[in-house]
Every structure is written in C-alpha cells, then in structure tokens.
C-alpha cells in the first residue's frame, strides 16, 4: 500500500512539470484580435514614446485647450468662388486723432442747487394764487398768498411789542430828564431803564418770529408803519426758474408737510452715472463729458464732472459720478436715461482699425491682414476705442490692410484647412 502511494506521487510530479514548462503559443497571440482596451493602451504607449519634437509640433498645431492652432506666417489662399462668396472688404490701418473715453450709463437729474420746494411751516389756507404750473418766475416773484391764524397772532404780538417799547422809551426819557434837573430819584431812572430794555427785547423777539413765519426785512418795516393786523402772508419765489409742479388750489388747507409748489431751473441739470471700481483712477473733477440721450441720438451735449462720490457701492462695485450739464434749449428732461463718455485725454494720434475687424481668439485678439492676395491671421494688442475705431498698440503697422467684412468666414476657412492637415498627418 505504501509503495502504491509513492508511485502515484512520482507520476503526479512528472506530468505536472511537463505542463508548467510548456512554451507559449506566440502565433495565437499575434493573430488574436485587439480589444478596444488593448488598442487604447497601445495608443497611449505610442504617445508616451513619441519624440520631443513630435510633441512640440502637436502643441504648435493647437492640441492644448485655449491655444492658437496656427503659427505666425500661416496664409489663407482663396479661390475666386470663395472670394466672391465671402464678400471681403478691407481697411487700411492709419494714424488718426482720436480721444480715449470712458463710457457709462446715467440718468438726467435736477441740479440740487437749481430746484426749490415752496411750502409753509404752519397750518394755513390758500387765499390767492399768483402763478400757474409751467410759468417762469424770477427770484422774489409772488407765488401764493395764505391766511394763517399763527400769522395774525404774530402780527398782533409785534404791534403790542412796538407799543410797549415806545411807551418804555418815553418813560425812560422823562425820568432821565427829571434826574438830570435834580428833581427825580435815581431808582425811578433805573426802573425806567430796565423797563426799556425788557420792551426792546420783547420787540426783537416778536420781529424774529415774523421772520420765522416767512416775512422779510422789508415786509416787517412796512408792517411797522401800517399797523394793519392781517392773517395773510405771501410766499415768494426763492430761486429763478420754472414752476415744475403745483398743488395750489384756491381755498385749500395746507400743512407743514404740504409741498405747495416746486420750482426747477432747467437751464442747468446734472447726470448721475455709475463708474466701475477699476476705472476710478481715470476720473477727476473738471473732466469734459459728452452726453447723448435716446430722444436726440444725433445731438451731443457737453458738460463737466462736478462731483465724485466718496463712497463705493459694495454690491455693484461702482462709484457715483455727477456731471453738470448746461441745457440752454431745454431739451434734456429730468428722468431721461443718458449715455455719457468721459474724455480721458484730448485728441492724440493713434494707429486704429474698425472694431469689426477684430476677432477674439481665446485670450487674444486677431485680425486678418491681406497681402498679395493672401490673408494672414495676426495677433494684435488693443488700447482704447472711440466712435467705432480701436487703437492698435502692437502687432500691426500703418498701411497694412485688415479685413473688415468676411473675417468670420476667413477664420472658419483657417480652421477648416488646419483640420484637413491634421487629418492627413
């Protein structure tokens, strides 16, 4: 039994060794089809062993995201049919005098120093109306006459203060005359003098109250001579301008919160605009501003920056800039939307092309330059723009022709040629 077990073990070792040492069938491995996974691995291996020059070539062609897929000197050659279908037009880059401007959107406002609200600080009734809405008035013109119980009481107190002062003055002069002759007592003179001072103080207080109620110095003097107790008071125009609004109705009651009239001088308005934080350093007081409004698109209004806010709007990251603008023809109206252009410099010579000639290429700007019937893409750097022209700071020379119309078709043609070359390779 023991011998049988040993014999079986030897047979197992012999056959097992022959199986493990069997050579692989290379022909079967070569002829077997390659799976997609194996193909991907193979492509990866081939890419990894490519030479550095081949890798740089692929990068130049533009396999990297956001990179240009063409080199400087690449030319586009069009057939006659393509030229006709593209409808190409060119513009010669030239030096011109243009202004650098900063555009912004604003709103026409009434000038804060050229408007006034006519109201009255006490309860009153409208007794007479001297102007209507839309009328032009000068400073000091009568606007409306009011009846007020407070005015009547103040007038009465003023007349009483005048009478008390005149009586105290006569009494003081009499006591002083007696004292000077040696027949009057000094204490009587001192008492008369004190009464005079009190009466004078009461008169000044009554006069100041009349000023508070709206009476001017001339009216108070006339009142002192007439001695007429009347509850009426006339309100006068505080500024020259136009009656913009009026709530005056004959016989209506007004209170201290009632805006009876609003006067606006439209000959000088202002425009409030918001300028972005990044442009704050470019603006300053006194800079010239050009303004256009939708109502008069072909007319340019001119003004100057009169105010720059000290506070930045944290939500919009903008700062308020106010432009004072003359309005002699009264064309501008408060509430209008306005496009402003802040002039950052006076006219200077700059190499310019139309903005339509410039295309975006990733993070760069390009134009197509026409030379000897060929079209070359060219990377450029731009500066400011004005009236549809853009300053070229690098990448272009004066006299070179750039494509204005049909440049999008040229760009498509450029990438079509690149794709065909990549497919061939």
CATH of the domain at 318: 2.40.30.170
Regarding whether 94 and 106 lie in a shared domain, the answer is no
- Position 22 scores a pLDDT of 38
**Model confidence pLDDT, tens digit, residues 356-390:** 999 988 889 999 999 998 999 999 999 877 778 88
Classify residue 87: in a domain, yes or no.
yes
**Model confidence pLDDT, tens digit, residues 275-287:** 999 999 989 999 9
Classify residue 401: in a domain, yes or no.
yes
> What is the rounded CA–CA span in Å between residue 19 and residue 15?
6
Flag whether pLDDT at 64 surpasses 50: no
Classify residue 320: in a domain, yes or no.
yes
**Model confidence pLDDT, tens digit, residues 334-363:** 999 999 999 987 667 889 999 999 998 888
Regarding whether 188 and 169 lie in a shared domain, the answer is yes
Regarding whether 212 and 155 lie in a shared domain, the answer is yes
- Position 31 scores a pLDDT of 31
| Total residue count of the chain as it appears in this document | 425
Of 153, 157, 160, the residue nearest 233 (C-alpha): 153
Structural domain of 94: 80-99+348-424
Average pLDDT score, the chain: 82
Give the angle subtended at the CA of 395 by the CAs of 363 and 393, to the nearest 5°: 85
- Position 81 scores a pLDDT of 85
Regarding whether 303 and 366 lie in a shared domain, the answer is no
Flag whether pLDDT at 422 surpasses 50: yes
The pLDDT confidence band at residue 28, using thresholds 50, 70 and 90, is very low
- Position 423 scores a pLDDT of 66
Cβ proximity of 101 and 386 under 8 Å: yes
% of the chain residues with pLDDT over 70: 82
Please give the residue that has the higher pLDDT: either 282 or 19: 282
Question: In the structure encoding, which two tokens stand for residue 74, read together?
Answer: 């690449």
CATH number at residue 195: 1.10.287
CATH number at residue 93: 2.40.420.20
The pLDDT confidence band at residue 70, using thresholds 50, 70 and 90, is confident
Please give the residue that has the higher pLDDT: either 69 or 174: 174
Classify residue 105: in a domain, yes or no.
yes
Regarding whether 274 and 320 lie in a shared domain, the answer is yes
The pLDDT confidence band at residue 160, using thresholds 50, 70 and 90, is very high
Regarding whether 355 and 396 lie in a shared domain, the answer is yes
Classify residue 127: in a domain, yes or no.
no
Classify residue 413: in a domain, yes or no.
yes
Classify residue 53: in a domain, yes or no.
no
- Position 419 scores a pLDDT of 80
> What is the rounded CA–CA span in Å between residue 246 and residue 261?
4
- Position 14 scores a pLDDT of 38
Lowest mean pLDDT among 46-60, 68-82, 117-131, 154-168: 46-60
**Model confidence pLDDT, tens digit, residues 285-316:** 999 999 999 999 999 999 999 999 999 999 99
Regarding whether 364 and 322 lie in a shared domain, the answer is no
Regarding whether 330 and 284 lie in a shared domain, the answer is yes
The pLDDT confidence band at residue 239, using thresholds 50, 70 and 90, is very high
**Which residues in 169-248 belong to E strands, given as ranges?**
232-236, 241-246
Regarding whether 330 and 275 lie in a shared domain, the answer is yes
Task: Give me the helix-helix angle, 186-213 and 217-226, nearest 10°.
Answer: 120
Residue where one domain finishes, among candidates 313, 343, 373? 343
Classify residue 164: in a domain, yes or no.
yes
- Find the distance separating the first CA and the last CA of the chain, reported in whole Å: 76
Regarding whether 368 and 354 lie in a shared domain, the answer is yes
Regarding whether 307 and 352 lie in a shared domain, the answer is no
**Model confidence pLDDT, tens digit, residues 94-150:** 988 877 788 999 999 999 999 999 999 899 999 999 999 999 999 999 999 999 999
pTM for the model = 0.59
Residue where one domain finishes, among candidates 315, 343, 371? 343
- Position 8 scores a pLDDT of 54
Residue where one domain finishes, among candidates 328, 343, 358? 343
Cβ proximity of 271 and 340 under 8 Å: yes
The pLDDT confidence band at residue 425, using thresholds 50, 70 and 90, is low
- The DSSP annotation for 188-199 comes to HHHHHHHHHHHH
Task: Give me the helix-helix angle, 149-181 and 186-213, nearest 10°.
Answer: 160
Question: In the structure encoding, which two tokens stand for residue 307, read together?
Answer: 């105010």
Flag whether pLDDT at 224 surpasses 90: no
Number of domains in the chain: 3
Regarding whether 208 and 198 lie in a shared domain, the answer is yes
């Amino acid at each position: 039994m023991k011998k049988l077990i040993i014999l079986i073990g030897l047979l197992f070792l012999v056959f097992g060794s022959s199986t493990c040492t069997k050579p692989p069938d290379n022909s079967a491995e070569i002829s077997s089809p390659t799976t997609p996974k194996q193909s991907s691995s193979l492509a990866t291996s081939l890419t990894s062993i490519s030479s550095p020059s081949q890798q740089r070539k692929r990068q130049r062609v533009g396999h990297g995201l956001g990179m240009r897929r063409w080199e400087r000197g690449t030319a586009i050659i069009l057939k006659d049919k393509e030229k006709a279908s593209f409808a190409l037009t060119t513009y010669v880059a030239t030096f011109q005098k243009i202004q650098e401007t900063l555009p912004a959107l604003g709103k026409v406002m009434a000038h804060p120093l050229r408007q006034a609200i006519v109201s009255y600080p006490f309860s009153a009734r409208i007794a007479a109306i001297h102007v209507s809405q839309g009328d032009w008035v000068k400073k000091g013109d009568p606007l409306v006459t009011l009846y007020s119980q407070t005015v009547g009481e103040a007038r009465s107190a003023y007349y009483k203060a005048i009478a008390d002062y005149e009586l105290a003055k006569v009494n003081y002069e009499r006591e002083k005359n007696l004292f000077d002759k040696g027949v009057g007592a000094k204490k009587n003179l001192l008492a008369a003098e004190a009464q005079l001072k009190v009466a004078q103080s009461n008169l000044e207080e009554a006069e100041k109250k009349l000023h508070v109620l709206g009476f001017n110095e001339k009216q108070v003097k006339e009142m002192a001579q007439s001695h007429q107790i009347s509850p009426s008071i006339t309100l006068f125009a505080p500024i020259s301008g136009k009656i913009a609004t009026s709530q005056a109705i004959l016989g209506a009651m007004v209170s201290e919160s009632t805006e009876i009239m609003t006067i606006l001088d439209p000959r000088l308005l202002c425009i409030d605009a918001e300028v972005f934080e990044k442009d704050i350093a470019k603006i300053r007081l006194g800079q010239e501003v050009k303004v256009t409004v939708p109502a008069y698109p072909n007319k340019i209004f001119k003004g100057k920056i009169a105010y720059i806010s000290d506070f930045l709007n944290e939500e919009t990251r903008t700062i308020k800039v106010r432009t004072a603008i003359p309005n002699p023809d009264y064309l501008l109206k408060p509430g209008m939307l306005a496009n402003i252009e802040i002039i950052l410099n006076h006219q200077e010579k700059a190499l310019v092309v139309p903005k339509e000639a410039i295309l975006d290429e990733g993070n760069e700007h390009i134009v197509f330059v026409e030379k000897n019937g060929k079209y070359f893409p060219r990377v450029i750097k731009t500066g400011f723009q004005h009236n549809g022209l853009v300053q070229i700071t690098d990448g272009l020379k004066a006299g070179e022709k750039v494509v204005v119309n049909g440049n999008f078709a040229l760009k498509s043609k450029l990438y079509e040629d690149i794709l065909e070359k990549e497919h061939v390779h």
